Amino acid sequence: MSNPESIFHDIYPSATATKVTGTLRALGLPLPLKNELYTGHAPILFCNPFGLAIRFNNPQRFPLMRHENLMRPIGALHIDPNCRMEFQFMATPERHSHIAEKVVKQLSHDGVIVEDVKSSPENMLRLPLCSAQFPQGVPVVYDPANILGGGALRHFEKRFKKGAVMALRPLKGEAPDIQDQCFDHLRQAFETAASAALRKKPNAFTGFLASCVTAKHDGLLRDSANIAEYCNVFPTRAAQAYEQHLWDECQALDTLTQ
């Protein structure tokens, strides 16, 4: 069996790896074993019970930008210049190429170039809210490795709520978009819970996880393992393995299912 202490040390410099493992512990989430962490363009932990995927992105390579058709996580923690921990929502994968073409055209108009979307619409997730342009649900590109440009968009990297907790909600005077309408209540829950957890308040993150369980029950979030239907077998196995690990060790799940 792999040593969970060493997993992130195989990926990041020692100081970054120590911060990542310390943050997961503070949030009450078990450290993944090697077969539970998917490593594609970035390491990902699929958290099926909560309808989330935790993606560990490099802030310098993949800045967070505000656009209705680009994934904006429910919450994000700036670990250090090497790592940003994003709590991404899981939703229905897009399947239609004509929808992908509309998204690519809209993003291009706004100065953003995306790759592997026209040919692979499943590189987008469809939100459970619709718009006039997308009556079956607004699609968002979720893998930052497919996103190029976007310098004119608002970047989030230098805005923090408290400590490492990034401020992802609309600025004063900024109109909420579809993603805000879907997830603003979860973003507020994340900011409160993560800030308290990083101050070492016991079980502080449980409130946010409870909100995610409710959102999943209501259809706002879904099992992250379903995304793997459109990828390959390894993400499915990683998702299933970490799901079992969560049920075995995550105290929050015991509380939420009693």
pLDDT, position 9:
92
The residue ranges of every structural domain in the chain are: 4-91+155-256, 97-148
pLDDT, position 230:
47
pTM for the structure as a whole: 0.91
pLDDT, position 250:
79
What average pLDDT values come out for the chain (258 residues) when binned by 10 residues? 75 95 94 88 89 93 91 95 94 89 92 86 89 91 83 72 80 92 96 94 93 92 64 67 85 65
pLDDT, position 101:
93
pLDDT, position 158:
60
Spell 86-102 as b/e; 16+ CB within 10 A means b. Answer: bbbbbbbbbeeeebbee
Q: In degrees rounded to 5, what are phi and psi of residue 195? A: -60, -45
pLDDT tens digits for range 49-62: 899 999 999 998 88
